[in-house]
Amino acid sequence: MENLRRIIHLSRDEAGVEGADRGPDSNAGSCPITSSAANLTSTTEAVTVASGIGFVAPKVTRAGLGEVNDRSDRRQQTEQQWLRPTTLRSMSGTTGKRKEIYKYLAPWPLYSMNWSVRPDKRFRLALGSFVEEYNNKVQIISLDEDTSEFSAKSTFDHPYPTTKIMWIPDSKGVYPDLLATSGDYLRLWRAGEPDTRLECVLNNNKNSDFCAPLTSFDWNEVDLNLVGTSSIDTTCTIWGLETSQPLGRVNLVSGHVKTQLIAHDKEVYDIAFSRAGGGRDMFASVGADGSVRMFDLRHLEHSTIIYEDPAHTPLLRLAWNKQDPNYLATVAMDSCEVIILDVRVPCTPVARLSNHRACVNGIAWAPHSSCHICTAGDDHQALIWDIQQMPRPIEDPILAYTAAEGEVNQIQWGATQPDWIAICYKTACEILRV
């Protein structure tokens, strides 16, 4: 997560934002607790890798993963030896000749990444550069399934590195083909080939020379007109999007603040909508105060703290289980383990996934299975876990992949491509068949 910290410091320093800590929340206490939430309403190179070794079943020793990092051992594994969980369905229309790994090299280091979910864009991803200066890039790439090669479809400028990129979660393809990015502000883009154009910049601090960088955001999957952002100024903001009547063939997109609330005692590092209660109104956030908090847009006068790190270590990322809204995962700063929480049993993790040998950078639940999650970290590894035996301890992952060339700083499990997981490290983006 070092990249995230560097992005935030870069944009904060250049924007001149003042102190983010608003002081302790008078209602904060031991877990579980309901606390008040103040409502402030109002030139690219594509490389295709031949079929090779992707995820493999780790060789378990008494010490745990043992030789899973040994590249010579990995090369000796064959496709017939791969462990494929029976709950991981095979891709429709695949052939025996489909490769296991596709690799794309960008012109710059990468940080953010997201799969498109449109049915007519099966293997399209958006990538965000990580260059520690104002001028950065976003690139849209697509895999040609006939030639088995990635190519860049659109590249455009972006101020500062993006802290997150997300396509509109429109699996039916009926909305405009939109892409959102966060950094100093939330921006909406209309994807095109080759030209992607900026639709709007959403800024809730227009009367100040200072801006508080956005650490993350989430796009509501049920109501696609809702986007939530998290910021280092301790707030979460819920935006309402509007698409005006078409002018010719062009629909203009804009947005307004539906509500803004002080969500944490310190910086807020991530936000994610829950599928519980209809999937529209409930969301959770994590922050530098070391807590996971849940909110309901229908009752913003209070929030519920469902977990607090015993040492108050900042929590950097969270992700909801895609099939069972009772479960979410979070990871603490510089931590080698992922914590699984059950919102019905606050305070106490139901599982800890602890086989990483360096800090965890990303977590992604399977889109089609309630008991599989993938984690990635600075140890160059992406690990897939089967957690169905909770609350018994989960000791080892069922599949492992090692990116020998670099630390994995981003991971995404394709929402409409459940057989494929994408990772980023250095200048590379790889998609791996599970």
Query: What is the structure's pLDDT at 72?
Result: 35
Kindly state which CATH superfamily the domain 97-433 is placed in: YVTN repeat-like/Quinoprotein amine dehydrogenase (2.130.10.10)
Inter-residue contact 183 to 163 (CB < 8 Å): yes
- Which pairing describes strands 135-144 and 149-159: parallel, antiparallel, or unpaired? antiparallel
Residue closest to 375 by CA, chosen among 360, 386, 388? 360
Residue 108: pLDDT over 90: yes
pTM metric for this prediction:
0.82
Mean pLDDT score, 353-366? 96
- Of 63-72, 123-132, 319-328, 343-352, least confident by mean pLDDT is 63-72
Inter-residue contact 160 to 136 (CB < 8 Å): yes
Residue 85: pLDDT over 70: no
Edge-first strand listing for the sheet containing 124-129: 110-115, 124-129, 135-144, 149-159
pLDDT tens-digit map of 128-155:
999 999 999 999 999 998 889 999 999 9
Answer with the residue of higher pLDDT: 131 or 75.
131
Residue 16, by phi and psi: left (phi above 0), alpha (psi -120 to 50) or beta? Answer: left
pLDDT tens-digit map of 186-195:
999 999 999 9
Inter-residue contact 308 to 278 (CB < 8 Å): no
Q: Say what percent of the chain tops pLDDT 90.
A: 65
Question: Would you state the structure tokens that stand for residue 5, as one six-digit string?
Answer: 């910290």
Rg over alpha carbons for the chain, rounded to the nearest Å, is: 21
Residue closest to 4 by CA, chosen among 167, 162, 156? 162
157 burial class (0-12, 13-18, 19+ CB within 10 angstroms)?
exposed
Query: What is the structure's pLDDT at 10?
Result: 64
Query: What is the structure's pLDDT at 375?
Result: 98
> Residue 248: CB partners within 8 Å, gap ≥ 6?
none
Answer with the residue of higher pLDDT: 377 or 17.
377
Inter-residue contact 308 to 322 (CB < 8 Å): no
**What is the rounded CA–CA span in Å between residue 209 and residue 231?**
16
Mean pLDDT score, 8-17? 57
- Of 67-76, 207-216, 384-393, least confident by mean pLDDT is 67-76
**What is the rounded CA–CA span in Å between residue 285 and residue 277?**
17
Question: Would you state the structure tokens that stand for residue 343, as one six-digit string?
Answer: 């919102």
* φ and ψ of 75, to 5 deg: -65, -25
**What is the rounded CA–CA span in Å between residue 177 and residue 238?**
21
Question: Would you state the structure tokens that stand for residue 431, as one six-digit string?
Answer: 């998609």
Q: Is the peptide bond before 194 cis (omega within 30 degrees of 0)?
A: yes
Q: Supply angle C-alpha 281, 282, 288, rounded to 5.
A: 135
Question: Would you state the structure tokens that stand for residue 262, as one six-digit string?
Answer: 């002080």
